[in-house]
Amino acid sequence: MPSTIRTTTLPSGEAVPVLGQGTWKMGEDARRHADEVNALKLGLDLGMTLIDTAEMYASGGAEEVVADAIAGRRDEVFLVSKVLPSNASRTGVPAACEASLRHLRTDRIDLYLLHWPGSVPLAETVEAFEALKKAGKIRHWGVSNFDTHEMEELVSLP
C-alpha cells in the first residue's frame, strides 16, 4: 500500500506533495536508463507522485527517463521541470518549454520553474510563464534557488 506523503497547498488551492523524486544525474548513461526508470516507477508505486526534473539535466535526458517512468501514469504525477536562466527570455521560455514537453512526452508541466536567477529581467520571464499558463502548457510557475532579495524582487512584480 502506498505511503501517504504530507502535502502543502499552492495559492490555487491545489494540494501538492512536499516530498518528491529528483532526477539530477539521471539520463547521463544509457546503460542505467532501465534502472533509473524502474527507480522512479517504484517511487510512484510507493506514493511519491511528485517528480522534479530540468531541461539541463543530461541536456533533456533526465526528462526522457521521466517520460518512460510515467508512461501510462501521467495523471498520477505532479511533474516539475525547470528552465535555464539563459532560456528565460520572452522567446526562450516557450521554446525551452516545448523541448521539455517533447522530452517528457506530455502536453503539460504541472509546475515550471526558473532554475536560478539570470540576466533576463524577471518581469520578462514571468510574462513568458503567464503566456504558457494561458496556453495550457504549464499549470503553475515559480522559481528555484532564489535568495531573499531575489524573492522580494519577484513578489514586487505586478
Which residues participate in catalysis according to the annotation? 57
Q: What is the DSSP letter of 124?
A: H
Q: Please say whether the beta carbons of 98 and 63 come within 8 A.
A: no
- Taking alpha carbons only, the member of 47, 59, 74, 75 closest to residue 23 is 59
Q: Please say whether the beta carbons of 54 and 82 come within 8 A.
A: yes
Q: Which stretch of DSSP H or E encloses residue 152?
A: helix 148-156
Q: What is the DSSP letter of 136?
A: T
Taking the C-alpha atoms of residue 144 and residue 149, their distance in angstroms, rounded to an integer, is 13
Q: Which stretch of DSSP H or E encloses residue 66?
A: helix 61-70
**Number of helical (H) and strand (E) elements in the chain, helices listed first:** 5, 7
